[in-house]
Amino acid sequence: MQSLTQSPKDPGFVQDPYPFYERARALGPFFHWQDYDLTCTGNAAAVNAIFRDRRFGREPVSPPAIPPHLAPFYAVEAHSMLELEPPRHTRLRNLVLRAFTSRRIAGLAPEITALATELAEAMPEGEFDLLAAFAQPLPVRIIARLLGVPEAMAPDLLHWSNAMVGMYMAGRSRAMEDKAVAATEAFVAFLRAYAEERRARPADDLITQLIAAESEGEKLSTDELISTCILLLNAGHEATVHTIGNGVKALLESGTPPEALDPESIEATVEEILRFDPALHMFTRWAYEEVEVMGHRFRRGDKVGLLLAAANRDPGVWEAPARFNPARPPKPLATFGAGLHFCVGAPLARLELQIALPILFRRHPRLRLAAPPRYADVYHFHGLKALPVST
């Protein structure tokens, strides 16, 4: 297995990581990323196989020591279904899926339509930042409604979430860690109090459903309830914000024709947005036993980085993968993962994009870039600092 060096903090990589992914692909299915000291793959078949192979999972074989100053953050992570394996993962995921039914998600369509219309009509004339005006408020307000959290809390939720995801970014600093811990403590305090309020006054929302499951003897603790809500609020909008921004950028830069946003075309267009420039670029797994994948042998306790954005541009799967082509026949993506941990919010994210993007472009048919957008230094997320547009 060959090695490559590429700082994820390098400005060139931040703006365009795809040339590095192609250099890595040329080395074979797996390579050693020196800057992470990590075996990685951007091969679509390998990524898909590891996602689905139960000999790999999210929980480390030997849990690392947690520094005392990070204890509050990892206390929440310890109950997050994203970080767990069966049987705890199964129980938590089944509870959450009670709220993420296809009927409930479809039932959000009128609210998404109304909110996207409200935001699109409120946009100022001239130049403005589309992230702040549209991409950020839409998903956080929708996930707040689904959970039952007051929409007035949306600015706090955004602030807390942005601080917490700093823990997953390359080269995080002590200042970032301190902000993440402070946000975690504020988030936990809010949700603990809010759960008590919902116990007294149940409603038709996810938090009430999780509380009801707890009281029915499914042993969902208050800490698990809080961690689950934090995960859904963070995951339910963070990636969607980036996807809306990256997607509008791709549509505008490629000169995509308006008919790509017509009802009969929008589903394929959204799939191409999710493939072409996804919001999350790396996910990791641990090997639970000795296992061989495409000629590479993993030992128990080995860690592997799955490069989702690279897998989405694998020429073994996609024709001319570096070209944004909304007419491309849809195929399975790596964007939402696969297997046991497939993203429970994928149907909601797709629905938001399929509804919101046509509304945005119908309301602003002359929407165009006001300046070249720049990506933020947030790897292994991939999203814009701002999206300067004009109408």
Alpha-carbon gap, residue 222 to 243, rounded angstroms: 32
| CA distances for 248 relative to 41, 94, 189, 272, angstroms | 28, 34, 36, 12
Using CA atoms in the order 17, 23, 29, 35, what is the torsion angle rounded to 10 degrees?
A: -60
Token pair in block for residue 192? 């603990």
pLDDT at 104: 87
Residues in CB range of 90: below 8 A, 6 or more apart:
none
CB atoms within 10 A of CB 75: 16
Q: DSSP labels for 238-286?
A: HHHHHHHHHHHHHHHHHT--GGGGSTTTHHHHHHHHHHHS-SB-EEEEE
| CA distances for 388 relative to 129, 198, 349, angstroms | 5, 40, 23
pLDDT at 314: 98
pLDDT at 140: 92
Superfamily of domain 3-390 in the CATH hierarchy:
Cytochrome P450 (1.10.630.10)
Tell me the H-state helices in 122-205: 130, 137-147, 154-165, 174-200
Query: What confidence tens digit (pLDDT) does each residue in 115-124 have?
Result: 999 999 999 9
Query: What confidence tens digit (pLDDT) does each residue in 263-299 have?
Result: 999 999 999 999 999 999 999 999 999 999 999 999 9
Residues in CB range of 248: below 8 A, 6 or more apart:
130, 135, 357, 360, 367, 387, 389
CA angle in degrees (0–180, nearest 5) for 307-234-101: 90
| CA distances for 158 relative to 136, 139, 241, 329, angstroms | 8, 10, 11, 35
CA-based torsion, 83, 56, 2, 22: positive or negative: negative
pLDDT at 217: 65
Alpha-carbon gap, residue 363 to 194, rounded angstroms: 37
Alpha-carbon gap, residue 344 to 79, rounded angstroms: 17
DSSP lists the bridge partners of residue 386 as 374
Nearest in space to 309 (alpha carbons), one of 274, 341, 342: 274
Low-confidence residues of the chain: pLDDT under 50? none
Question: Which phi and psi angles does 15 have, rounded to 5°?
Answer: -80, -30
Token pair in block for residue 100? 């993420």
Question: Which phi and psi angles does 387 have, rounded to 5°?
Answer: -130, 85
Are the CB atoms for 130 and 357 separated by under 8 Å? no
Domain range list for the chain:
3-390
Alpha-carbon gap, residue 5 to 19, rounded angstroms: 13
pLDDT at 64: 87
Question: Which phi and psi angles does 298 have, rounded to 5°?
Answer: -100, 140
**Side chain identity at residue 31, one-letter code:** F
Whether a cis peptide bond, with omega within 30° of 0, leads into 32 is no
Whether a cis peptide bond, with omega within 30° of 0, leads into 87 is yes
